[in-house]
Amino acid sequence: MKVFYTSEHQSHAPESFMLRGQRVPCPEIPQRAEILKKAVSRHELLKCSNHGSGAIEAVHDSNYLEFLHSGFDEWSALDGASPEIIPNVHPNRNMSHVPRHIVGRAGFYQSDTSCPIGAGTGAAAVASAQCALSAADTVLSSSEDRVAYALCRPPGHHAYADMAGGFCFINNVAAAAQACLNHGATRVAILDIDVHHGNGTQGIFYHRNDVLTLSLHGDPDYFYPFYAGYADETGIGDGLGANRNRPLPKGTGDSDYLQALEPELEAIMSFAPDVLLVALGLDGSEHDPLAFLAITTAGFRAIGERIGGLTLPTVLVQEGGYVSNVLGDNLSAFLAGYESSSESVTA
Amino acid sequence: MKVFYTSEHQSHAPESFMLRGQRVPCPEIPQRAEILKKAVSRHELLKCSNHGSGAIEAVHDSNYLEFLHSGFDEWSALDGASPEIIPNVHPNRNMSHVPRHIVGRAGFYQSDTSCPIGAGTGAAAVASAQCALSAADTVLSSSEDRVAYALCRPPGHHAYADMAGGFCFINNVAAAAQACLNHGATRVAILDIDVHHGNGTQGIFYHRNDVLTLSLHGDPDYFYPFYAGYADETGIGDGLGANRNRPLPKGTGDSDYLQALEPELEAIMSFAPDVLLVALGLDGSEHDPLAFLAITTAGFRAIGERIGGLTLPTVLVQEGGYVSNVLGDNLSAFLAGYESSSESVTA
């Protein structure tokens, strides 16, 4: 399995974020990617190549991208501003205008305090997306590579078309899905197994039926991102029926998770996608510092096996998963599980 | 002129709020009210009386009020929570559900980090609203009292039906306007001269034509509340034409301010309200710590004169205005100006 990586992620190294009214260290740190890189050392490691901005611009608002790339300079010029952009006022309901002031734009384009933007954030986010685009290109272009893994950092699935959030800035898996369509695929499925709902991905494709979005995640009634990820969100307009959410109760373990996964896999096969993209969060781990679910390393292997067993061309896109003793093991286990079942079927 | 006050405001004493990514001291402190109280010492000071919750409940969402009064206990039980509720994630766009978790509810019901909620905040906000209701009751009930002043703290005009924001929790002037209508008035006007747009008041009455809302304020393109307060926001449905915004450029002084005030006063007289309520912010002062406009003490007197000259039954409701050497002087000057012209006409 080819693995796409770039060291450019290191230019995004957030110092802190705001949680429950307190400034605390940010868990989405460069060390994550280095742990994951070590875990895939038996695979062929490739530097991601530049696939241009077309797919990124197709899934993001141009004014948002402009903010992401130039906002930091404006922010830094403010009296008393923090070292990274952290918003303090938001449009919420009953408001509509996009203001010119950087504090107002920050709150318009960042829906929470968990997506601090520093000098290198925009470049790192684009490089991260290029890893996903590289993996997608490989799977679509090569008859030998039925699967590829993009070691994306920062992650992407909380990024909406026009909003950063939850450590995410550019929606890597959404850009890769769009690239697949641009490359000739007619139907694409995105299965999100991060512990947090893939709200940005859902939002980007909510009105479309060429991309089936499915997410299993901690119940948003009690867990980030709180305002989306409920089972009754099924898409709108042309997209009606092309979004599936499976909220899971706190503490859900391997067995219940695998049971909840089954109907989602069946829905994928019914949709008959040309390509499957997996938003591969590892923060469902029982040992993750942001723990909500309780998946073991064996559980990640089993999840990988089940997804590999679909034998679809597959782009694996790294999402969350934070520093713990089992972070690398869980990635290795997922990939080994995926390969074992995809190989056993195709052999 | 009767002045309504209560010491219950002291139970809301926020330690800090988040601004530009930093925790900083909150300027909306009990000392404000004590300075304003001293400034009105030549007037008849009365303790506000309890006018019930009907008018408050008529302009606020019941779930929001429940959050305001009981959210603090839930927040305090969280691991690592700050001493006051400060939200860190917001619904913004593309989200709809109200979650059960207190962190999610905080971001749903608080649109910024400038409205920290402590143990005594809900009670202080209700007491503040009772001051406005007491002043309204006096003006409506007594033929002698054509004007009354409510020394409200915390302020109210940024509070929407279902959102706190900008140091505001219960919309005092909106509740007082509703009380006037409940008391037999058929048309009420609210003129907001706080330096910040009265976004909550606008939001509460945006669809109604029995309350004309007018606001002069710093241009929201560059100033809080950023997302509302633009000139093109004129109301919706039955309320179309019953909302007027006059954004003013940074540094606007007395002369330009008074010129901008004229058409708003004409609009009030055309509307022919039974009662005028003034959302009386003093933070347009050249010396206010949150300065954006540059109104002098003489300017506040002149503004008071112009409003007094309308000779309408008037309820003056304190909004913003932060600690400076001229805070008390500006209130005295406004009230003296108001009385001088209202008396000269009615004499």
Q: Which has the closest alpha carbon to A113: B120, B342, B110, B321? A: B110
Q: With CB atoms and an 8 Å threshold, state whether A228 touches B104.
A: no
How large is the average pLDDT for residues B285-303? Answer: 97
Tell me the backbone φ, ψ of residue A195, rounded to 5 degrees: -65, -20
How many C-beta neighbours within 10 Å does residue A271 have? 18
8 A C-beta contact, residue B99 and residue B105: yes
Average pLDDT (B148-154) is: 98
Task: Name the token pair of A176.
Answer: 């890769």
Cross-chain residue pair A95–B224, CB shorter than 8 Å = no
Cβ–Cβ contact B165 with A under 8 A? yes
Q: Percentage of residues in chain B with pLDDT exceeding 70?
A: 99
CA distance B257 to B261: 6
pLDDT of residue A347: 45
| Chain B residues inside the 8 Å CB shell of A291 | none
**Residue A7, pLDDT score:** 97
pLDDT value at B2 more than 50:
yes
Asked if A236 has any chain B CB less than 8 Å from its own CB, the reply is: no
Q: What is the reported pLDDT for B345?
A: 58
Identify the pLDDT of residue A33.
98
Per-residue pLDDT of chain A (347 residues; tens, 9 = 90+): 999 999 999 999 998 888 898 889 999 999 999 999 999 999 999 999 999 999 999 999 999 999 999 999 999 999 999 999 999 999 988 777 899 999 999 999 999 999 999 999 999 999 999 999 999 999 999 889 999 999 999 999 999 999 999 999 999 999 999 999 999 999 999 999 999 999 999 999 999 999 999 999 999 999 999 999 999 999 999 999 999 999 999 999 999 999 999 999 999 999 999 999 999 999 999 999 999 999 999 999 999 999 999 999 999 999 999 999 999 999 999 999 999 998 765 54
> Quick check: B112 contacting A, CB < 8 Å?
yes
Helix (H), strand (E), coil (C) string for B129-176: HHHHHHHHHHHHHCCCCCEEEECCCCCCCCCECCEEECCECCCHHHHH
Whether the predicted pLDDT of B93 surpasses 80: yes
Choose the catalytic residue: A9, A60, A157, A158: A158
Residues 6+ apart with CB under 8 A from B102: B71, B74, B75, B78, B85
Task: Report CB contact under 8 Å: B82, A20.
Answer: yes
Cβ atoms within 10 Å of A298's Cβ, excluding its own: 12
Q: Taking CB atoms and an 8 Å cutoff, what residues of chain A touch B112?
A: 88-90, 107
What pLDDT, on a 0 to 100 scale, did the predictor assign at position A56? 98
Give me A70's structure tokens. Answer: 């130039």
**Residue B138 reports pLDDT greater than 70:** yes
**Left, alpha or beta for A61 (phi > 0: left; psi -120 to 50: alpha)?**
beta
Residue B40, helix vs strand vs coil: coil
Q: pLDDT tens across B249-287, in order?
A: 999 999 999 999 999 999 999 999 999 999 999 999 999
Q: Give the pLDDT confidence score for residue B347 in this predicted structure.
A: 45
B157-200: per-residue pLDDT in tens?
999 999 999 999 999 999 999 999 999 999 999 999 999 999 99
pLDDT attached to residue B346: 52
Q: Is the Cβ pair A227, B95 closer than 8 Å?
A: yes
Interchain CB distance below 8 Å, B108 and A80: no
What letter does residue B98 receive in the DSSP assignment?
-
- Residue pointed to by tokens 């073991």: A296
Instruction: For B52-71, give the DSSP string.
Output: -SHHHHHHS-HHHHHHHHHH
Shortest alpha-carbon distance between residue B199 and chain A (Å): 9
Contact A235, A242 (CB under 8 A): yes
> Quick one: pLDDT at residue B59?
98
Residues of B involved in catalysis: 158
Main-chain dihedrals φ then ψ at residue B285, nearest 5 degrees = -60, 145
Structure tokens that stand for B178 in this block: 């509703």
Partners of residue B108 in chain A, C-beta under 8 Å? 92, 226-227
Q: Which of A196, A194, A263 is nearest to A228 (CA)?
A: A196
Cα Dmax for chain A: 63
Nearest to A86 among B21, B85, B111 (CB): B21
Task: Render the burial of A317-338: b for 16+ CB within 10 Å, e for the rest.
Answer: bbbbbbebebbbbbbbbbbbbb
For residue A220, the chain B residue with the least C-alpha distance is B99
Reduced to 3 states (helix: H, G, I; strand: E, B; else coil), residue B183 is coil
Mean pLDDT (chain B) is 96
**Mean pLDDT along residues B222-247:** 97
Phi, psi of A310 (to 5 degrees): -70, -20
Question: Which of residues 1 through 60 in chain B touch A, CB cutoff 8 A?
Answer: 18-24
Q: What is the pLDDT of residues B35-73, one digit of tens each?
A: 999 999 999 999 999 999 999 999 999 999 999 999 999
A130 CB-near residues (< 8 Å, 6+ apart):
A6, A48, A49, A50, A51
* Confidence at residue B110, expressed as pLDDT on a 0 to 100 scale: 97
